[in-house]
Amino acid sequence: MGGSSPCASCKLLRRRCAKDCIFAPYFPPDDPHKFSIVHKVFGASNVSKMLQELPVHQRADAVSSLVYEATARMRDPVYGCVGAISYLQNQVSQLQMQLAVAQAEILCIQMQQEPTLPTNQIDPVDKKSLLLSATNVNNIPQYLGFASSSSVIQDPLKRESLWT
Amino acid sequence: MQNLTTTMSNSTRCAACKSLRRRCSQDCVLAPYFPANNPQRFACVHRIYGASNVTKILEKLPVESRSDAADCMTFEASSRIQDPVYGSTQTIFKLQQQIVQTQYEIAKVQAELAMHNAQQQMHQIQQQQDHQNQNHLLGQSSLMNVNSAASEQEEEFHYLDQQQLGGFYH
């Protein structure tokens, strides 16, 4: 390998780091923790197989998502990433309810301002049915019904800066 | 006979042991979560995590948590097979985007509500002012009536007085 140091994976696996080492571009020697986590959860040979099946320009993103999933699994050994998904789904549901309530209020105001309507007040029963019809919670695809866990969520995923 | 009591026969091996072509012992860690009737489930998990990693992860967990853990790993493994680049992080990313979008829409609607409330308040203030002005005008006009009535009466009295005085002097 000449004068350059072996990549983090070859260091951990105690082997010679070849010039065409598949891990070297994505697991630099200055960040051993990154490969250690991935190796613990997925195993070096599985990661190697997964990367080999991908075109080169997609491997960096794949490594980053594997690191993210492995980190999630270490933080929450039972639910891993699924805990995060469940937590986010709950958040989405709550926000959509909030939105539905606000939209129903606007609808009420608009109807009150309609000159053709005979009454100034809307019946509370009608208000409830308006609220229910404005709610679109049922349209949310429910991926899973697992216990939600916010312990996994750290920084929001940003495609541009996710994979650092 | 002893073999049958201590190990499971070929037909009752779990999906993991069947796939790995090994004996399935009674205390097989994987057996409760990877039954023989669903070989695809184990194949998924084995492809992404590997049997030994799955076993290690499950062994470290209390028994009551292992079923959920196995289900979650199966989900993540199948997500990874469907999307080899992003796996289940794709779902997380989409949900985060959905949250941002919904928060934006809530802010929009709340701004509209605030505007309506402000307009209503202004309308009420205007109505109050108009009412006050009306009262003021009414007050003034009734005062004028009182004044004119008072001055008429004064003139009448004055006339009467003069009459009386006139009568007196004559």
pLDDT single digits (tens) B77-92: 999 999 999 999 999 9
Of A41, A75, A109, the one marking the end of a domain is: A75
ipTM above 0.85, yes or no: no
What is the pLDDT confidence band of residue B156, given thresholds at 50, 70 and 90?
low
The C-alpha of A25 sits at a distance from chain B's nearest C-alpha, in angstroms, of 16
pLDDT single digits (tens) B6-56: 444 556 899 999 999 999 999 999 999 999 999 999 999 999 999 999 999
Above 60 in pLDDT, residue A70?
A: yes
Would A20 be classed as within a structural domain? yes
A134 and A91 both lie in a single domain: yes
pLDDT (average), residues A18-32: 94
Would A50 be classed as within a structural domain? yes
Q: Residue ranges per domain, chain B?
A: 1-82
Strand partners, B7: B25
Would A148 be classed as within a structural domain? no
CB-CB under 8 Å, B76 with A157: no
Would A21 be classed as within a structural domain? yes
- Is the CB of residue A101 less than 8 Å away from at least one CB of chain B? no
- Range of A47-56, B117-126, B142-151 with top mean pLDDT: A47-56
- Which pLDDT score is estimated for B64? 96
Check if the beta carbon of residue A149 is closer than 8 Å to that of residue A84. yes
CB-CB under 8 Å, A102 with B72: no
Residue of A nearest to B62 (CA): A78
The C-alpha of A48 sits at a distance from chain B's nearest C-alpha, in angstroms, of 11
Percent of chain B with pLDDT over 70: 80
A67 and A90 both lie in a single domain: no
- Which pLDDT score is estimated for A109? 87
A64's tokens: 């980053």
Would A158 be classed as within a structural domain? no
Within chain B, residue ranges assigned H as helices are 2-6, 15-20, 39-48, 51-59, 63-82, 89-169
Above 60 in pLDDT, residue B122?
A: yes
CB-CB under 8 Å, B92 with A81: yes
Of A103, A146, A159, the CB nearest to B72: A146
**Number of neighbours of residue A44 by Cβ within 10 angstroms:** 18
Of A43, A75, A107, the one marking the end of a domain is: A75
A35's tokens: 């490969």
Above 90 in pLDDT, residue A31?
A: yes
Of A45, A68, A79, the CB nearest to B72: A79
- Which pLDDT score is estimated for B154? 67
Model confidence, pTM: 0.71
More confident position, B118 or B166: B118
Percent of chain B with pLDDT over 90: 63
Residue of B nearest to A163 (CA): B86
pLDDT single digits (tens) A109-147: 888 877 665 555 555 545 445 444 444 433 333 444 555
From chain A residues 105-134, the ones with a CB under 8 A of any chain B CB are 105-106, 109
User: A90-98 contacts: CB < 8 A, separation 24 or more?
Assistant: A90/A148, A91/B95, A91/B99, A92/A140, A92/B95, A92/B98, A92/B99, A92/B102, A93/A137, A93/A140, A95/B99, A95/B102, A95/B103, A95/B106, A96/A135, A96/A136, A96/A137, A96/A140, A96/B102, A97/A135, A97/A137, A98/B106
B29's tokens: 């860690």
- Closest residue by Cα to residue B90 from A43, A34, A143, A136: A143
Residues of chain A found within 8 Å of residue B110, distances taken between Cβ atoms: 102
Would A124 be classed as within a structural domain? yes
A41 and A95 both lie in a single domain: no
Would A155 be classed as within a structural domain? no
Would A151 be classed as within a structural domain? no
The C-alpha of B26 sits at a distance from chain A's nearest C-alpha, in angstroms, of 23
Of A58, A61, A102, the CB nearest to B106: A102
Host domain of residue A39: 8-75
B15-43 burial, b at 16+ Cβ within 10 Å, e below that, comes to bbbbbbeeebeeebbbbebbebeeeebbe
A65 and A109 both lie in a single domain: no
Of A75, A98, A120, the one marking the end of a domain is: A75
Of A77, A92, A146, the CB nearest to B57: A77
CB-CB under 8 Å, B99 with A95: yes
Number of compact structural domains in chain A:
2
- Which pLDDT score is estimated for A4? 74
d(Cα A64, Cα A66) in Å, to the nearest integer?
5
B114-133 burial, b at 16+ Cβ within 10 Å, e below that, comes to eebeeeeeeeeeeeeeeeee
In the block, residue with structure tokens 């989409």: B94
Residues of chain A found within 8 Å of residue B65, distances taken between Cβ atoms: 78
DSSP state of A120: S
DSSP A14-64: T----TT-SSTTTS-TT-HHHHHHHHHHT-HHHHHHHHHTS-HHHHHHHHH
More confident position, A39 or B147: A39
d(Cα A114, Cα B63) in Å, to the nearest integer?
62
Residues of chain A found within 8 Å of residue B124, distances taken between Cβ atoms: none
The amino acid occupying position B148 is S
A154's tokens: 């750290």
- Which pLDDT score is estimated for B46? 96
